[in-house]
Amino acid sequence: MRHLLWAGCFQLLPWQAGPCTRKLTTAVTSAVATSHCGPWLLAPLAASSSSPSVSKGFLQPPILGSRAPCCWGSQFNVPPSALLVARPVGVCSMMRLPVQASAQGLDAAFVGVPLDTGTSNRPGARFGPRQIRAESAMVRRYNGSTGAAPFDSLRVADIGDVKVNLYNLPDSCRLIRESYQEIVASGCVPLTLGGEHTITYPILQALAAKHGPVGLVHVDAHTDTGDVALGEKIYHGTPFRRCVEEGLLDCGRVVQIGIRGSSYDPDPYEYSRQQVRGSTAGHCLP
Ligand SMILES: *[C@@H]1O[C@H](CO)[C@@H](O)[C@H](O)[C@H]1NC(C)=O
């Protein structure tokens, strides 16, 4: 059981910064040491390390101190290879990355927003972040076609979920906005696992508060620029109208792709076109 617990928690730990202290001793007989294995050795119980974790907030192994994993001198977190750590092993984080309590010290962070109370139909997106995390165990760290290796140059972790209020949509928006303000304040780029479309509104509020009006690539069947439904201004069909009203979008740099659903208006694209015309990039329209 000790071994099981250890294997489960070991993979949550980040690569550690500082000079490499390969403190694997001769007692390390169970470690799988091959050239391609990265940091995801099965650390033996006898291995020691100078410090248990680089930054505050990382989950700690149940056995602290001398049983922390070996240090390989990298400042990055790397998804464990399934060649070394079986896919179903460990806490279910995005790509099995380390789980961290805050965005502090990260270049990018996966964050879940398990909200679906703004949807008009087919609720269930509240389970999205969990399901995405579960499926993400299949994703490997390199793109063999493009050579993309994001984890070699960016420090990334899973920082858990926004604590939404399922019984109060405006309050959920506040909670999301405040959580994202905290994430971007530390210079971290949030990578969101939703959640339905309402969440883009408070997320963009937080981003625009830091960066000013932002560009947007929106892939959807609908423009989500409605005004009111059932008397409410906030639901999954209105986020981008609210964003435009609050000046959160640089409309000349907004692209909506895949819009094709049936609509309430004869010309569902008119509102979006008007915003682009009103922007500095309006002359680019056909
Ligand atoms: C690799 O990157 C290309 C270009 O972004 C993408 O089309 C493809 O799906 C990626 N392949 C994998 C396996 O991620």
Does 50 share its domain with 126?
Answer: no
Radius of gyration, CA atoms only, the chain: 22
* Domain total in the chain: 3
Ligand 1, atom 14: nearest CA belongs to which residue?
Answer: 143
Cα gap 107→101, rounded to integer Å:
14
In a domain, residue 203? The reply is no
Q: Is the beta carbon of 143 within 6 A of some atom in ligand 1?
A: yes
Look up the domain containing 167 and give its range.
92-195
Does 20 share its domain with 59?
Answer: yes
In a domain, residue 177? The reply is yes
In a domain, residue 207? The reply is no
Q: Is the beta carbon of 139 within 6 A of some atom in ligand 1?
A: no
Q: Give the helix/strand (H/E) hosting 211.
A: helix 200-211
Does 115 share its domain with 154?
Answer: yes
Ligand 1, atom 9: nearest CA belongs to which residue?
Answer: 143
- Cα(143) to centroid(ligand 1), Å: 6
Does 158 share its domain with 105?
Answer: yes
* Domain CATH code at residue 128: 3.40.800.10
Ligand 1, atom 11: nearest CA belongs to which residue?
Answer: 143
- Cα(148) to centroid(ligand 1), Å: 9
Q: Is the beta carbon of 121 within 6 A of some atom in ligand 1?
A: no
- 143, 170, 195: which is the final residue of a domain? 195
Alpha-carbon dihedral 276, 121, 199, 14, rounded to 10 degrees: -130
- 43, 77, 111: which is the final residue of a domain? 77
Does 223 share its domain with 283?
Answer: yes
- Cα(20) to centroid(ligand 1), Å: 33
Does 17 share its domain with 46?
Answer: yes
- What b/e sequence results for 252-276 when a residue is b if at least 16 CB atoms lie within 10 Å of its CB, and e otherwise? bebebeebeeeeeeeebeebbeebb
Kindly report the length of the chain: 286
Number of C-beta neighbours around residue 277 at 10 A: 13
Q: Write out the two tokens for 14.
A: 């980040």
pTM of the full predicted structure? Answer: 0.75
In a domain, residue 259? The reply is yes
- Cα(115) to centroid(ligand 1), Å: 28
Does 126 share its domain with 51?
Answer: no
Does 19 share its domain with 46?
Answer: yes
Does 275 share its domain with 183?
Answer: no
Cα gap 268→256, rounded to integer Å:
12
In a domain, residue 1? The reply is yes
For 238, 266, 282, the CA distances from 278, given in Å and listed in that order, are 20, 21, 6
Does 96 share its domain with 178?
Answer: yes
In a domain, residue 186? The reply is yes
| From 138, 139, 143, mutation site for ligand 1 pocket: most ligand atoms within 8 A of C-beta | 143
Sequential pLDDT tens for the chain (286 residues) = 333 333 333 333 333 333 333 332 323 223 323 223 333 333 333 333 333 333 333 333 332 322 223 333 467 999 999 999 999 999 999 999 999 999 999 999 999 999 999 999 999 999 999 999 999 999 999 999 999 999 999 999 999 999 999 999 999 999 999 999 999 999 999 999 999 999 999 999 999 999 999 999 999 999 999 999 999 999 999 999 999 999 999 999 999 999 999 999 899 899 999 998 888 665 445 4
Residue 132, judged by CB atoms within 10 A of its CB (0-12, 13-18, 19+), counts as: middle
Q: Is the beta carbon of 138 within 6 A of some atom in ligand 1?
A: no
Query: Pairing state of beta strands 249-257 and 189-194?
Result: unpaired
Does 48 share its domain with 109?
Answer: no
- Cα(119) to centroid(ligand 1), Å: 31
In a domain, residue 168? The reply is yes
In a domain, residue 202? The reply is no
Does 135 share its domain with 187?
Answer: yes
Cα gap 187→108, rounded to integer Å:
9
